[in-house]
Amino acid sequence: MANTKVNLCGITLDNPIIPASGTFGFGYEFAELYDINVLGTFSFKGTTLEPRFGNPTPRIAECASGMLNAVGLQNPGVDKVISEELPKLRRVFNKPVMANVSGFSIHEYVETVRRLDGEGDIGWFEVNISCPNVHGGGMSFGTSPEMAEQVTRAVRKVTDKPIIIKLSPNVTDIVSIAKACEAGGADGVSLINTLLGMRIDIKRRRPIIANKTGGFSGPAIKPVAVRMIYQVYEAVKIPIVGMGGARSAEDVIELMLAGATAVEIGAENLVNPYACRDIIEALPSVMEKYGINNLSEIIGGAH
């Protein structure tokens, strides 16, 4: 019988499938469609210290092999996530959940994690360091090894739970940033976040998205994700949560062979809300097809 279990930072998952933050809300919306307890876990909507309305509309633009989005971290703020969203989630999900946290200063990251740390059903913190640091001249934490290590060290001081730092692919050298996160005390890294992209409306001769640029995701970015996961796996000893264009059980296995312990499914959830369930159901037969008995044994198997 195929064994789909993997261990992510000391917590065992029934399978490596994790809906990505921003594509699965706080889970209970999808629980109306199927039993979300079949998931390994999921990363809930990016949460900030204060409520955020997000960017002006339009925020979405379709592309030939993916999509652009510039939602802008719209969320109700950490206090309402604790008082309203998590209680609703607990009624439909009985596994540890991954808390995705964003911020615009080290203080905001630290305070958001500190407030969420007491919630027993949070198993991991996925710390998104792709947001601009408005207190540091607009620099993004995720594009500087020094800043990445600094925010990792700061968050490490306020929680004993596993910290997984989410890395931006919009850099020259993702390896140096992953190593800086490891040095700062990260328990894992997740990659890749969206690539920066843009589309122009030919009739209007203006950018389609009000924000002008947006995050490009979908099947087209998978080769970039495979390459970056492969490179980071060779450079760090901590586990990798892989993501970027995965939409099938074969894609999941490919990212795991590159070095991912678990795989997040993002844009495909917006195309097919049953995507994660379908991938989980397909995994055993695809494992049999490729002679895989135990998924955890293939992690980094392409090296």
CATH of the domain at 32: 3.20.20.70
Residue 24 lies in a domain: yes
Q: Is the dihedral of CA 9, 12, 17, 23 positive or negative?
A: negative
Residue 127 lies in a domain: yes
Going by their DSSP bridges, the two strands 163-166 and 139-140 should be labelled as: unpaired
- Which residues participate in catalysis according to the annotation? 131
- Please give the share of the chain, as a percent, with pLDDT higher than 70: 97
Over 50: is that where the pLDDT of 133 sits? no
pLDDT of residue 54: 86
More confident residue, 57 or 134: 57
pLDDT tens digits along 193-249: 999 999 999 999 999 999 999 999 999 999 999 999 999 999 999 999 999 999 999
Residue 286 lies in a domain: yes
Number of domains within the chain: 1
User: What is the mean predicted confidence (pLDDT) over 291-300?
Assistant: 97
Residue 62 lies in a domain: no
Residue 149 β-bridge partners: none
pLDDT range class, residue 141, cuts 50, 70, 90: confident
Residue 12: domain span? 6-54+72-195+216-298
CB atoms inside a 10 Å sphere around CB 279: 25
pLDDT of residue 234: 98
CB atoms inside a 10 Å sphere around CB 185: 16
pLDDT range class, residue 131, cuts 50, 70, 90: low
pLDDT of residue 142: 87
Residue 206 lies in a domain: no
Rg of the chain over Cα atoms, rounded to whole angstroms, equals: 18
First-to-last alpha carbon distance for the chain, in angstroms, is 26
- What does pTM read for this prediction? 0.96
- The C-alpha atoms of residue 175 and residue 229 are separated, in whole angstroms, by 9
- The C-alpha atoms of residue 92 and residue 159 are separated, in whole angstroms, by 26
Residue 27 lies in a domain: yes
pLDDT tens digits along 76-91: 999 999 999 999 999 9
- Collapse the DSSP code of 122 into the 3-class scheme (helix H, G, I; strand E, B; otherwise coil) and give the result: strand
Over 80: is that where the pLDDT of 135 sits? no
Residue 18 lies in a domain: yes
Residue 202 lies in a domain: no
Q: Mean pLDDT score of the chain, rounded to an integer?
A: 95
- Collapse the DSSP code of 161 into the 3-class scheme (helix H, G, I; strand E, B; otherwise coil) and give the result: coil
- The vertex-72 CA angle with 66 and 78, nearest 5°, equals 125
